[in-house]
């Protein structure tokens, strides 16, 4: 976004649409319209500076802080989006949803192969009611059920207990009893078996 001219775009928008609003005493509302877009509120203080202030050391420092704040806000936004998709489509077994496919956009050099062509195939298969060659993501509940072994034996080294079943063992690890024993174990500073030996 920065390489594509984000700062110039923000400055141009501020000059054309935002500056006169502020002169009229109307501050931008960052909860409405275009002002919700990532970048506006993070760069507000920088945009409010004069041209001379922007070119000063303080202005350059504020610009870098604004860029960092936008990056953090972008990461938070991406996490919220992923959580929303998982919650609505993959973790809610009562909801009827269409198949969800994952596209890996990490490597731009592989964009055509792993994103564009894959997406086109998925859409065309759906529109023609044909079988898609790619597997959709499974609902989280199905993944969890498939990975849980109800007959496995799990030994808790902290509590010195044998617990049958992955689900029961996961519950045990989150229990107050286990946490209390773990806390005592850690506060007692029990030495490691190899501690004190010469190598």
pLDDT in tens, 34-74: 777 777 889 988 988 888 999 999 999 999 999 999 999 99
Q: How far apart are alpha carbons 81 and 84 in whole angstroms?
A: 5
Cα angle 49-51-52, degrees, rounded to a multiple of 5? 95
pTM of the full structure: 0.54
CA distance 30 to 153: 54
Q: pLDDT grade, residue 134 (50/70/90)?
A: very high
What number is the average pLDDT over the span 154-166? 83
The two three-digit tokens of residue 130, written as one number: 């044909």
How far is 170 from 156, CA to CA, in rounded Å?
11
Mean pLDDT of 75-99: 81
In the structure, what pLDDT confidence band is assigned to residue 198 with cuts at 50, 70 and 90?
very low
**In this structure, what are the phi and psi dihedrals at residue 174, rounded to the nearest 5 degrees?**
-95, -5
Q: Domains of the chain: which residue ranges?
A: 6-90, 98-136, 147-187
Specify the 3-state DSSP secondary structure of 156: strand
Specify the DSSP element, H or E, that contains 163: strand 161-164
């Amino acid at each position: 976004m920065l390489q594509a001219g984000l700062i110039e775009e923000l400055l141009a928008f501020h000059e054309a649409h935002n500056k006169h609003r502020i002169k009229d005493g109307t501050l931008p509302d960052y909860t409405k319209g275009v002002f919700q877009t990532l970048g506006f509120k993070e760069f507000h203080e920088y945009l409010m500076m004069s041209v001379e202030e922007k070119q000063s050391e303080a202005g350059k420092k504020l610009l870098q802080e604004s860029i960092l704040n936008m990056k953090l806000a972008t990461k938070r936004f991406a996490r919220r989006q992923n959580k929303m998709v998982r919650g609505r489509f993959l973790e809610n077994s009562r909801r009827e949803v269409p198949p969800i496919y994952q596209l890996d956009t990490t490597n731009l050099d592989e964009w055509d192969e792993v994103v564009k062509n894959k997406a086109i195939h998925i859409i065309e298969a759906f529109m023609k009611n044909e079988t898609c060659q790619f597997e959709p993501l499974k609902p989280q509940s199905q993944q969890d059920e498939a990975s849980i072994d109800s007959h496995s034996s799990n030994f808790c080294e902290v509590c010195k207990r044998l617990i049958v079943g992955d689900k029961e063992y996961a519950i045990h690890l989150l229990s107050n009893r286990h946490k209390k024993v773990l806390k005592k174990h850690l506060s007692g500073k029990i030495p490691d078996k190899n501690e004190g030996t010469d190598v």
